[in-house]
């Protein structure tokens, strides 16, 4: 097979708690991550040269090593030089649907798709843990993006444990087109305002920490109880992003008052989501929020949670 086309789903954070500042500059987290159907399309194709050639369609993304998708291909070449010799370079075509710098792991999902795509294209037969280990070298959210679904993440976000399929929500998603939030900025600002040292890296405490911090949400997921899940969603980064971006705080408030089970910012923002039980309820929330806000700068999406990460669309 000379090409694979993959679907790379975005994620939302049902939970993001910052436990403290790590000596390596990252933050120790407890996160619950959830894949949603909104996703990018990535094609990887053997190009008969030695090179990586990345095309991002009409998106403003760079097509060089500043793009995570490009770096993912470089990482595969560095780790599997023999496969690169055998199969040659790769054309990567990226069709963006996930908004950028939105807290939805769009760049991470694309990088995860390139790792999976090259594993397929080069017949490497890598296991999920092997792919996740490579992914962790590129970014904290990329291991999750490979398998997707519902998972709890600890460490800097790269240590994953799958959770029972929480695939039960319709999601109204909204983002200001003109507002982008840099993830490093959000974490650094949090560190300045609320930072506390985190030195405890005792692995045996990790399991306990998950239940201490995300317990009620985890119970909701365990029992597939949408109301309990939605009433325990949480995101510490709201404390820095919302005061810095008043329109996002207003959007969050409008969405929350439009109905649904619960509203939260995703990741480092600025996208905001509302969880709903049914499609009809989500459509109503969307209509009410659009009318109340009446802001042409805000894009809305109606999507739903899904139980998987990168998937082959066709080949
Ligand atoms: O790992 P990734 O490259 O996706 O992280 C982007 C940035 O987000 C990091 O450079 C860091 O500033 C911040 N970050 C953090 N703690 C984490 C994850 C990310 O401070 N656990």
pLDDT value of residue 166: 65
**pLDDT surpassing 70 at residue 232:** yes
Distance in Å, CA 16 to ligand 1 centroid:
13
pLDDT value of residue 290: 97
Nearest to 41 by CA among 2, 91, 92, 94: 94
pLDDT value of residue 210: 73
**pLDDT averaged over the chain?**
94
Mean per-residue pLDDT, 79-97: 97
**Residue whose CB lies within 8 A of the most ligand 1 atoms, among 103, 154, 156, 181, for a mutation test:** 156
**Residues within the annotated binding site for ATP?**
99-109
**pLDDT surpassing 90 at residue 212:** no
Tens digit of each residue's pLDDT (9 = 90 or more) over 188-202: 999 999 988 886 666
pLDDT value of residue 197: 81
Residues classed as catalytic: 11, 141
pLDDT value of residue 314: 66
Looking at ligand 1, which atom is closest to the CA of residue 138? 3
ipTM over cut 0.95: yes
**Residues within the annotated binding site?**
99-109
Domains and CATH numbers, the chain: 3-167+307-314 (3.30.230.10), 170-303 (3.30.70.890)
Tens digit of each residue's pLDDT (9 = 90 or more) over 129-160: 999 999 999 999 999 999 999 999 999 999 99
pLDDT value of residue 1: 61
């Amino acid at each position: 097979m000379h090409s694979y086309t993959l679907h790379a789903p975005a994620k939302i954070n049902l939970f993001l708690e910052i436990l403290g500042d790590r000596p390596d500059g990252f933050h120790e987290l407890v996160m619950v991550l959830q894949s949603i159907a909104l996703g990018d399309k990535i094609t990887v194709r053997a190009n008969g040269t030695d090179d990586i050639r990345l095309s991002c369609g009409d998106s403003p993304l760079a097509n060089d090593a500043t793009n995570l998708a490009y770096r993912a291909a470089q990482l595969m070449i560095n780790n599997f030089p023999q496969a690169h010799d055998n199969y040659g370079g790769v054309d990567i075509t990226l069709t963006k649907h996930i908004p950028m710098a939105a807290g939805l792991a769009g760049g991470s999902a694309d990088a995860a798709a390139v790792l999976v795509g090259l594993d397929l294209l080069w017949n490497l037969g890598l296991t999920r843990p092997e792919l996740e280990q490579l992914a962790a070298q590129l970014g904290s959210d990329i291991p999750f993006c490979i398998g997707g679904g519902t998972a709890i993440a600890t460490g800097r976000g790269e240590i994953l444990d799958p959770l029972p399929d929480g695939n039960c929500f319709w999601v109204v998603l909204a983002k200001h087109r003109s507002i982008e939030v840099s993830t490093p900025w959000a974490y650094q600002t949090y560190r300045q305002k609320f930072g506390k040292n985190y030195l405890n890296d005792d692995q045996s405490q990790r399991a306990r920490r998950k239940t201490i911090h995300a317990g009620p949400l985890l119970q909701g997921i365990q029992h597939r109880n949408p109301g309990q899940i939605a009433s325990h969603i949480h995101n510490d980064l709201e404390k820095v992003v919302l005061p810095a971006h008043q329109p996002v705080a207003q959007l969050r408030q409008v969405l929350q008052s439009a109905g649904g089970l619960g509203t939260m910012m995703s990741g480092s923002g600025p996208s905001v989501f509302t969880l709903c039980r049914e499609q009809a309820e989500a459509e109503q929330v969307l209509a009410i929020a659009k009318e109340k806000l009446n802001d042409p700068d805000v894009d809305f999406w109606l999507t739903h949670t899904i139980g998987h990460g990168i998937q082959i669309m066709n080949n």
